[in-house]
Amino acid sequence: MNTTVSIPRPEYPNPQFARENWINLNGEWEFERDRSDSGEARGRHMAERLSETITVPFCMESELSGVGDTDFCNAVWYRKAVTLPEDFSGEGKRVFLHIGACDYRTTVYVNGERVGVHTGGYISFSFEITAYLREGENAITIRAQDDVRGRKQPAGKQSGRYGSYGCYYTRTTGIWQTVWLESTPAAYIKSFRVFPNPAEERLGIEAAFVSDSPETFTATAFYHGKKVGSAKAEITSASAVLELDLSELHLWELGNGELYDLTLTFGDDVVQSYFGMRTVESRNGYLYLNGKPVFQRLVLDQGFYPDGIYTAPDDSELLADIQRSMMMGFNGARLHQKIFEPRFLYHCDRLGYMVWEEHGNWGMDISNADAWKFFPEWSEAVERDFNHPAIIGWCPFNETQINQDPDYLRFGYELTKRLDPTRPVIETSGWSHVAGVGDMMDWHDYDQNPETFRQRYMDVANGGTIVSKKHLTFEIRPTFISEYGGIRWDIDNTAENSWGYGNTPQSEEEFLERFKGLAEALLQNPFIGGLCYTQLTDVEQEINGLYTYGRKPKFDPAFFYGVLTQPAAFEQTAEQTGKDPR
């Protein structure tokens, strides 16, 4: 149940875990700015009306929110009056409030009573509000507290200055993903994880439940509408494991995101989902998909939009960014300094587009004791996104600071591996690796000279190493150049504060020659197993994109496709010899 008339972002927010009985709360909400964060003391959670309005799910800084206030604000308030349909709540039913993401510390009130608090600006969360509801109209009030200048919270690329500068951009305060209500039976499926086993043509399922009595749990798989497997069990505890045998095997592969539909039932609760059959692993720092070596032709994607900031104006724009990338020959992306929304990951799953998931750790001083508060939200991210076949690796941190605690990063790696032993993990991307930690050794290198760039990594291929000029106390041999390029090119006459890496090419021909030389230096090196070009689009004043901020291609995409789809030496060597280049 849902109405989509005049509602922005009306689609179901999480196709991995979809129920039929839901209400989209996007659209106009009452709103107030609370710069001094004194609202609770002033009783704003009890207010019968707030003084402004905003369009959810767009942050107050964005044009699409209708507010467009980019100044610092320590807290913001939202209020919406909701009257539930008769069949949505009542005896034998539970009602949950879901928030896709709200930056940073969120407190939810229903009818003036505090329901719960969530800390973390990037991940989805929910509260059961059944006990707080009453007949007729109900007031949902939300407070979001946000402080990107205190360096005690992850802020990603949000600017700590009044304005944007360098590679820091407009902030996002408060709600920036869909808000919705969902009705479930009293006994319901709480969560589940899938474990594809292509070798045995079988899917493992681990599920958790809430129930006061035994119920039957059933999992049924479909391929293009045809039933291809089913399994069930009588559940008398809070969790269960099922093995579902498939009558047909269709592998999830790059460029061919073969997906199965999955229906889960637990008593009267029904959840619709999907899965992909694939394996992913790292061997000596190289990526293997379904047992075959894969050269990672990735692009850095920061997920910013001119009119929505962190939030795409509509679902089609999420899909279009993936298609723009694939049109240029990239087979995946590093999702950089932001946890992307489930709808984006859904489109990656469908298109066979691989991604690394990364938290927006920048802005957080990891030498501070408060930095340990980072891990609960990162754990929530791994849990929420575990079932996406497109995610081929996790990276909790990017370019961590000089005075980092190696034990902190080691803990982050080990925690992630415990949460998900099925995927590779890079403990911190860039140059500040911890000796003996991580499944893949990556490196960031913005050398703009193709010849010196090529020679550096040929030296590595011949047994040489790289010593960091900043952080490292040991030598490394990277197999994945996870940031490079970043060639400046401005076709929109960006403001004087435009920023990019290195010198601007003097002509279009020089730009294309530089791009080709840098890419081929990695593609033709048998030791290197992946690249990630910076970046897909410009973001505000940063002009390193292959597309403008408005998504206009700066050059013919066919040129980049021709360069990037050349056979990679690593793939050929590994396929022919059956051995890693090491």
Q: Quick check: is 17 in a domain?
A: no
What does the CA dihedral 80, 86, 88, 90 come to, rounded to 10 degrees? 110
Please report, for residues 110, 123, 263, the alpha-carbon distance to residue 271 in angstroms, rounded to integers and kept in the order given. 26, 21, 6
Q: Residue 3: pLDDT above 50?
A: no
Residue 557 sits at φ, ψ, to 5 deg, of -55, -25
User: Residues 270, 351: one domain?
Assistant: no
Q: Residue 470: pLDDT above 70?
A: no
Distance CA 564, CA 328 (A): 8
Residues in the chain: 582
User: Residues 153, 223: one domain?
Assistant: no
**For every residue of 416-433, which 3-state class applies, written as one string?**
HHHHCCCCCECCCECCCC
Kindly report, residue by residue over 532-572, the tens digit of the pLDDT: 999 999 999 999 999 999 999 999 999 999 999 999 999 88
Distance CA 4, CA 308 (A): 19
The whole domain housing 194 covers 188-249+255-275
577 is written with which tokens? 């010899």
Q: Which of 149, 177, 205 is at the close of a domain?
A: 177
User: Residues 379, 408: one domain?
Assistant: yes
Residue that the structure tokens 């709360």 belong to: 25
165 is written with which tokens? 């500068």
User: Residues 142, 164: one domain?
Assistant: yes
Q: Which of 119, 142, 177 is at the close of a domain?
A: 177
The model's confidence at residue 425, banded by pLDDT at 50, 70 and 90, is very high
Type and span of the H or E element at 194:
strand 188-197
User: Residues 360, 500: one domain?
Assistant: yes
User: Residues 313, 265: one domain?
Assistant: no
User: Residues 299, 208: one domain?
Assistant: no
Distance CA 315, CA 321 (A): 11
What pLDDT was estimated at residue 578? Answer: 61
Q: Quick check: is 8 in a domain?
A: no
User: Residues 213, 318: one domain?
Assistant: no
Averaged pLDDT, 73-93: 94
Q: Residue 214: pLDDT above 80?
A: yes
User: Residues 469, 421: one domain?
Assistant: yes
CB-CB contact of 159 with 535 (8 Å)? no
Least reliable range by pLDDT among 100-114, 290-304, 434-448: 434-448
Percentage with pLDDT > 90 across the chain: 88
Question: How much is the pTM?
Answer: 0.96
User: Residues 386, 520: one domain?
Assistant: yes
**CATH, residue 100:** 2.60.120.260
Tell me, what amino acid is at 441?
M
**For every residue of 211-235, which 3-state class applies, written as one string?**
CCCCEEEEEEEEECCEEEEEEEEEE
Pick from 279, 335, 306: nearest CA to 532: 335
Q: What DSSP assignment string belongs to 278-334?
A: --EEEETTEEEETTEE--EEEEEE---BTTTBTS-SSHHHHHHHHHHHHHTT--EEE
Q: Quick check: is 33 in a domain?
A: yes
User: Residues 468, 335: one domain?
Assistant: yes
